[in-house]
Amino acid sequence: MAYGGEGRFDADSVAALLVTAAGTYVLQRRDDRVGVDFPGFVGLFGGAIEEGERPEDALMRELHEELSFVPARIASFATLIFDERPSGGWHCRRRYFEVPVSPGDIDTMHVSEGQGMDVLDCNGVTQLPAVIPYDLCAILMHRRGVSG
């Protein structure tokens, strides 16, 4: 992790848009405890890029750690940068990857971080009371690209 400076980030992370052919997304129900960013929220699986790690490798590591899942294919989708420093917040970069999954893949996933997982379409995601805002943004962008 890099801190401060215009081109450096307080958090540099990856996230997976785990998406089925039917257009549903696999989401993580985050732990609801102190020390967890957005405790109790729903978001995408992923996490921090470790020192010297390529984003693709970080995503593969995180999916293995959090879901015991090794995807057959990943594709870069988008990078979102959030600069909340003017209001006392973080300067963050989150790289999103599209990861196609089948119902069989979902059946083999074992959640080891968080309270569980949900599989929802975009409308279902938008109806949730607490979704990580930048992950919601990525899902809406992805849905827009898929539906035209």
pLDDT at 6 over 80: no
CA distance 53 to 43: 23
Spatial contact of 20 and 120, defined as CB atoms under 8 Å apart: no
pLDDT at 99 over 90: yes
18-50 b/e (C-beta count within 10 Å ≥ 16 → b): bbbeeebbbbbbbeeeeeeebeebbbbbbbebe
With a CB cutoff of 8 Å and minimum separation 6, the contacts of 61 are: 50, 53
Q: What is the Cβ-side half-sphere exposure of residue 91, based on CA atoms within 13 angstroms?
A: 12
Question: How many C-beta atoms lie closer than 10 Å to residue 102's C-beta?
Answer: 11
State percent of the chain over pLDDT 70.
Answer: 93
pLDDT at residue 147, rounded to an integer: 57
Q: Which helix (H) or strand (E) holds 66?
A: helix 55-67
CA distance 4 to 2: 7
* Structure confidence by residue, pLDDT tens digits, 103-142: 999 999 999 999 999 999 999 999 999 999 999 999 999 9
67 confidence band (pLDDT: 50, 70, 90): very high
Which CATH number fits the domain 11-147, given the four candidates 3.90.79.10, 3.60.20.10, 3.20.20.450, 3.30.70.260?
A: 3.90.79.10
CA distance 121 to 32: 23
| Closest C-alpha to 119, from 103, 136, 143 | 103
